């Protein structure tokens, strides 16, 4: 800013002071901008570190989940195989029982202790006789 005649020492001094004030304001603004840039770069670096850490945690979780799913799948497959084996064994036993119970010898071979032959009872136990009367 010019305050009048440039030859006047007071006017020159004011002009120089205005110039210095303007330069100080520009320097402060530049320092503020540099400080803001520095803070943004620090924030970006912190965000990048946090993102990298989160990605590592996510990879660990994926690995753990994969291991759990694999173990669960193996366990279920093993249980299924065992169940099939047991069903096959039970079916074989049923078939053998059906074959044995279908033969006439099996029907005749089984008797209760008090039976004579063809299902005739020799005598009833005493406690059953009293209740029957």
Domain count, the chain: 1
CB 14 within 8 A of CB 3: yes
- SS3 assignment, position 115: strand
Residue 2 lies in a domain: no
What is the pLDDT at residue 93?
Answer: 93
Residue 1 lies in a domain: no
Residue 52 lies in a domain: yes
Find the mean pLDDT for residues 27-56.
95
Q: What is the pLDDT of residues 93-122, one digit of tens each?
A: 999 888 877 776 656 566 666 666 655 555
Which strand (E) or helix (H) includes residue 22? helix 9-102
Residue 124 lies in a domain: yes
Residue 112 lies in a domain: yes
Structural domain that includes position 83: 9-132
Residue 21 lies in a domain: yes
Residue 40 lies in a domain: yes
Find the mean pLDDT for residues 14-42.
94
Stretch among 4-18, 37-51, 57-71, 108-122 having the lowest mean pLDDT: 108-122
């Amino acid at each position: 800013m010019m305050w009048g005649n440039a030859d006047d020492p007071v006017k020159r001094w004011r002009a120089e002071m205005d110039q210095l004030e303007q330069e100080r304001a520009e320097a402060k603004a530049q320092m503020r901008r540099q400080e803001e840039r520095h803070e943004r770069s620090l924030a970006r670096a912190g965000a990048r570190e946090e993102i990298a850490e989160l990605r590592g945690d996510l990879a660990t979780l994926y690995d753990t989940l994969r291991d759990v799913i694999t173990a669960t799948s193996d366990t279920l497959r093993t249980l299924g195989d065992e169940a099939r084996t047991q069903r096959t064994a039970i079916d074989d036993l049923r078939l053998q029982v059906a074959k044995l119970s279908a033969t006439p010898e099996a029907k005749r071979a089984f008797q209760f202790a008090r039976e004579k032959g063809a299902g005739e009872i020799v005598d009833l136990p005493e406690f059953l006789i009293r209740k029957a009367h």
